[in-house]
Amino acid sequence: MRTTPTILHLDMDAFFASAEQASKPSLRGKAVVVGGLGPRGVVSTCSYEARVFGVHSAMPMAQARRLAPNAAYLVPRFGLYRQISEQVMGLLRELSPLVEPLSLDEAFVDLEAGETAWDERSALLAGRKLRDDIRAVTGLTGSVGLAACKMLAKIASEQAKPDGLVLIEPGTERALLAPMSVRTLPGVGPATGDHLRRGGITTVGEIAEAGEDELVRLLGKAHGLALYAMALARDERPVVAERDTKSVSVEDTYDVDIHDRVRVRMEVQRLADRCVQRLRGAHLSGRTIVLKVRRYDFSTLTRSETLRGPTDDPGVVREAAARLLEAVDTTGGVRLLGVGVTGLADYTQEDLFAQAQAQAQAQAAVAEGAEVVGPEPVEDVAEEPEPAAERQWRAGHDVRHVEFGHGWVQGSGLGRVTVRFETPDSLPGRVKTFRVDDPGLERAEPLPLVARVPPAVGEG
């Protein structure tokens, strides 16, 4: 392990919710909750103002509404989040060729590999400049952790939240870790934490004191040795820039075993949606859907289903995961659930099916003597305006009105849609209500959070 704090971990602050606040002046400084708004929706991200009321990620949306009834509840805009993520990752790659993204809003950077930092002072300068650049380019804030290894850099960024920078000096790691909960260490979830607690171990320092043999006895050789090394602040994992991704998956471990079959189904649906979000974020699709279930007795079952071709359709993944769940007995209780997709590709088979179908229809029309101008692109069919009466206005999404300009949907129902007209660089805007079929109202693309300044004359 290196002796200089040149591993950087960046974690954007309340990313989705912060992007919504930056986009909507009327929501700045207020409680904002982003996630699924249906009866089975869950919280994806919430602002720090919402966290004051006890709202947190992965919480059922119904519970969040009870805790913070006056918060703004919005549907995610993943297109906008991906654009911002690409800007942030571009800034990270200016620091080093070794950038390891973990999600849209989180990544490790090896500053030493980019010759950006070689000691404590240069690492601090790089971290401060990165935070300033992120704010200037995106209008958002990120928290930065600097340390001699990945584990400690991630712990440092968590301590830096929100909008801060923390550097862990080499030589101070074990003293810093000792009083922390065992749950601080990677790989220690509720089940492992409870197992350690029953063995009289609740802090990282107690793991180090227990010794290697005791950890192996409690957790098995592989997990015990890895956990003991981390308790001693040893983490040899390198920052990996490019990975040959073989699968995309998400899983959750629950503090209390789930016995209600309906709740299990809801959790699987939620995990399927999160898995598809990651899949699309990586511009991938997959052919095999995998369900993972760890039951009350720690027995772990996996079930899989292979489709005709790759997909990134959330409905397809949800339905496949639900079918797989039907073959699993969960009556004794479930402590972990996961949904994954393997057999990855950079295209979706549905597109190929649609093209083939369009060609077949054209050939049939020719055979019947109909006039065919040419095969209409699938994209044009997909973007055909839907009938006005069927338009759906989703809370938080962008719209434009011929008279009032750019705005966003505050809510809709009973044939009406309420819009607040404002932009990222305006004052809080006025609110107007329209019929859902108002011909002057249309969907719009998100506006940049930071106004782009055109280059001066003579500049590239």
The CA-atom distances, in angstroms, between 76 and each of 15, 46, 274, 431 are 11, 11, 12, 21
Q: How far apart are CA 99 and CA 339, in angstroms?
A: 26
Distant-in-sequence, close-in-space partners of 276: CB < 8 Å, separation ≥ 6: 312, 313, 314, 317, 341
> Does the annotation mark 106 as catalytic?
yes
> Do 284 and 275 meet the contact criterion of CB atoms below 8 Å apart?
no
Long-range contact list for 431-435, CB < 8 A, 24+ apart? 432/401, 432/404, 432/407, 434/401
Alpha carbons 363 and 342: distance in angstroms, whole number: 35
Q: Give, as one character, the DSSP assignment of residue 27.
A: G
Cβ(272)–Cβ(318) below 8 Å: yes
Q: Which residues pair with 416 in a beta bridge?
A: 413, 435
From residue 319, alpha-carbon distances to 273, 290, 343 in Å are 11, 12, 18
Query: Which one of 20, 106, 267, 422 is the catalytic residue?
Result: 106
Output the CA torsion sign for 398, 399, 400, 401.
negative
Q: What is the DSSP string of 86-138?
A: HHHHHHHHHH-S-EEEEETTEEEEETTTTTS-SSHHHHHHHHHHHHHHHHHHH
Token match 């027995």: residue?
A: 299
Contact criterion met (CB below 8 Å) for 376 and 421? no
Place of tokens 């805007």: 429
Tell me the catalytic residues.
Answer: 106
